[in-house]
Amino acid sequence: MKKVRITVKKIACYRDLMEEYENPIEHSCSMSLGQEFICNGWERPEGFCGSAWDAVSPFVMALAHGAEDLYDGWMKDPRSAMISCNDGFRPVSFLLETMDEEAVR
pTM score > 0.95 for this model?
no
- pLDDT above 70 covers what percent of the chain? 95
What is the enclosing helix (H) or strand (E) of 82? strand 80-84
| Domain chopping of the chain, boundaries | 4-99
Q: Say how far apart CA 12 and CA 15 lie, in whole Å.
A: 10
Mean pLDDT of 35-58: 92
Tens of pLDDT, residue by residue over 48-93, are: 999 999 999 999 999 999 999 998 989 999 999 999 999 999 999 9
Q: Say how far apart CA 40 and CA 83 lie, in whole Å.
A: 17
N residues, the chain: 105
